[in-house]
Amino acid sequence: MMSQQKTSDPMFAVCIDNSEYPVSLELHKVYQVLPDEDAALDGGIRVIDESGEDYLYPAEYFILVKLPSAVEQAFLQVAYTT
């Protein structure tokens, strides 16, 4: 089961399997993760995918990563301006 961080901390994950969702997920791309305890209990993870919306995917398709602060800020800045 994936560990939960404080909800105020941005979370990111790298896609390691997009075989079931090739249009929605890019392999090896970093995605922003939104907290969803219910999804985590069921083996899922909520990410903002290629559509720009958040959807649930199998957690095993991702690896959570800790990004340097400057990289996090760059990701978040782009996410909120597009």
CA 27 to mean position of chain CA atoms: 12
| In 1-82, alpha helices (H) | 37-41, 69-81
SS3 60: helix
| Residue carrying structure tokens 């909800």 | 7
Instruction: Give the mean model confidence (pLDDT) for residues 69-73.
Output: 89
Walk me through the domains of the chain, giving residue ranges and CATH numbers. Answer: 11-81 (2.30.30)
pLDDT of 6: 44
**What digits encode the pLDDT tens for the residues 31-41?**
999 999 999 99
Name the residue with higher pLDDT: 44 or 72.
Answer: 44
Name the β-bridge partners of 62: 15
Q: CA angle at residue 25 from 17 to 13, to 5 degrees?
A: 70
Residue with tokens 């901390």: 9
Residue 57 has which token pair? 């995917």
Query: Comparing 47 with 78, which gets the higher pLDDT?
Result: 47
**pLDDT tens, 1-57?**
444 444 457 899 999 999 999 999 999 999 999 999 999 999 999 999 999 999 999
